[in-house]
Amino acid sequence: MNNRKRMQNVAAATTIAAASLLFIWHFRDLDTGKESAVNEQTAALLSQRASAYTSEDVYEQRAQLKEEQEQKEQAQQPQAPAVPAPPANDTPQTQPQTLAERFSGTLVIGDSIAEGLLVYDVLNEAECIGVRGLRVDQLGQYMDEIARRYPSVLFLEFGMNDLEYWQGNAERFASVYQEQLSALRSRFPQMRIYVNSVLPISQEAIAQTPANGSWQAYNDALVQLCAQAGVTYIDNGNILMSLAQPFEQDGIHPRPDYYPLWAQHMADSAGLPEAS
């Protein structure tokens, strides 16, 4: 039903309601000459319903009419001439390769140090999972997520939280790490796995938490573990300590300058392509 027809129906409904009201208003009791109370109530109810129906319907029709009018006005406006497409360029355009693009199809997973790759916009979330406080014994919680993404290359970064958790026990740390590597190998036999070293820690942070002083012992255990498991160990200590100011105020987390250097080192160590 078009808008004009609906408006006519509204007017007809209003007219009928008004006629009914007029008839009831003049209806009198033949014996008493008084108006029937029932008829007065009925008249009031009909009046209320007619008014409510008319208002709601009119507001709706006004909105629809306004919308149709605007559409007609837009249709009557002259159309801008089509802009011809630029001529085809047979010369391929080479875009600079970013670190994030180099890591396409790979995944870095680790603790808050890995999270820094996201915080400082070095990698995208598609290529990195960084969780504050994460330890290597908790890696199993992310097996399904790793399976969902199924990267061709997996970079592991653990150890900072494991130092205090295992109270500097390098053998225990390596044993748990080995269990996780075995689980990864079993579930993802074709995946290339790289293990990042535990970063050096400042003397101030070691003084506050003596277990942090075992970072080198943890790395020695990782070197041996990786050789036995057939995965590649990536030593990042020299990169961190080459910076004029390597640490944040806590003496543990690297400063922002470290993260692009670290990502570059991982990409080079894994032989990730420079260009797609």
Span 226-265, pLDDT tens digits: 999 999 999 999 999 999 999 999 999 999 999 999 999 9
Angle CA 97–105–101, to nearest 5 = 15
Alpha helices (H) in the chain, listed in sequence order: 3-25, 37-76, 99-102, 112-119, 143-149, 160-165, 170-187, 203-208, 215-229, 237-241, 258-270
Q: Which fold has domain 99-270?
A: Rossmann fold (3.40.50)
Q: Quote the pTM value.
A: 0.66
Distance between CA 218 and CA 31 in Å, rounded?
Answer: 111
CA distance 189 to 87: 49
Q: What digits encode the pLDDT tens for the residues 52-68? A: 444 344 445 545 654 66
Q: What value does the mean pLDDT of the chain take?
A: 80
- Confidence category of residue 98, pLDDT binned at 50, 70, 90: confident
